[in-house]
Amino acid sequence: MFHGPVMDYSKLPESMQPKYVYSALSFDAVNQVFRDGRVFSSSGYDASIGLFMGKTILAMQDKQHREHRNLVSAAFKSKSLARWEPAIVAPVCNALIDEFAAAGTADLVREFTFEFPTRVIAKLLGLPEDDLGMFRRCAIQLISYNVDYKTAFEASAALKDYFAAQIEQRKSAPTEDIIGDLVTAEIDGEKLSDEAIYSFLRLLLPAGLETTYRSAGNLLYNLLTHPGQFPAVQENRELVTRAIEESLRYETPLTTVQRSTTEGTEIEGVKVPAHALVDVCIGSANRDERRWERSEEFDIFRKPLPHISFAAGEHTCLGLHLARLETRVALECILDRLTNIALITDDDPHIHGNPFRSPTALPVTFDVIR
């Protein structure tokens, strides 16, 4: 722990700027914050990102959170995931590779990692491909609310209007997609309100698109820039899962989230007052040298030890199984189709950004596996 903000809140409207800011940096501190939702509340999202997305499960607590999470999680049941892999995720990834394979060179961010989560989400939601550009643009505008909050409001309104039409279509003609599942989801006679569905879908876009495309880009970059590790995964597919988890630890795609204290408390000997904002530094926690030997090294051969990239406690990422599935299938499709992949380093591609981190380009050359 240390006293002082990790995030820059000065660009927010004055009414949204916090008075007290602390930072949880170690694995134990971050884990404590995530697992004590009573003291470290996520309700502050109502006054920040909630202004643009509406009331989402990110900000809900206790019974309300459990009920909404149970309703929404029905759309991500394991039976659906098993169906989505061969029917949607693998075909999307292979279709993208088809588009650049013959060239022998590609920018894997622009032509692959940035594209495949968007196309997958569109198909899972049952949306027309022609709308991809619109909701990708709105997703980026939403998560950039601390830079341009007026544009974020406009994006939020546009998405509400768009999803309202999609919901009405499914009320009269049910569909087998996530929006259809959300419209019909029911537990103990209760259904989700239209407003709750709008809010969840607005959350799903940046959550599903941003973090997945960034984690896939980070994974490919890490494998290609650490000698021997990409060939090892290509030769031994049992290393794929290890590589994904090590990359999520080493280069966490979302490095920081926020909580606020409901009462005075203490974290690792530091007293934190009530009504303080806590930057929960996931990226720092995942490199805690007290938990991992050689924590600053990327090593897919290390003994697996759970990271905290998907949070913990009641607000553990709802889409973590889908994210892992998408990343695994994307890597496996690359491994099945391409070989002798080499990163072109002329323009110094690298991972950067905060709180979202990833490479902006991955120019490569390759051979096609015949």
Least confident among 109-123, 185-199, 261-275: 185-199
Residue whose C-alpha is closest to residue 131's, from 143, 122, 140, 142 = 122
Give 81-123 pLDDT, tens digit per residue. 889 999 999 999 999 999 999 999 999 999 999 999 988 988 8
Strands 256-261 vs 265-267: parallel, antiparallel or unpaired: unpaired
Read off the tokens for 220.
Answer: 């490919």
Give 198-228 pLDDT, tens digit per residue. 878 877 776 677 889 999 999 999 999 999 9
Q: How many domains does the chain have?
A: 1
Q: How far apart are CA 239 and CA 105, in angstroms?
A: 25
233 phi, psi to nearest 5 deg = -65, -35
Half-sphere exposure of 118 (CA within 13 A, CB side): 23
Strands 277-281 vs 21-24: parallel, antiparallel or unpaired: parallel
Output the domain CATH number for residue 285. 1.10.630.10
- Domain range for residue 113? 2-368
pLDDT higher than 90, residue 186: no
Give 140-151 pLDDT, tens digit per residue. 787 776 677 788
Share of the chain above pLDDT 70, in %: 85
Least confident among 149-158, 168-177, 262-271: 149-158
Q: How far apart are CA 320 and CA 317, in angstroms?
A: 5
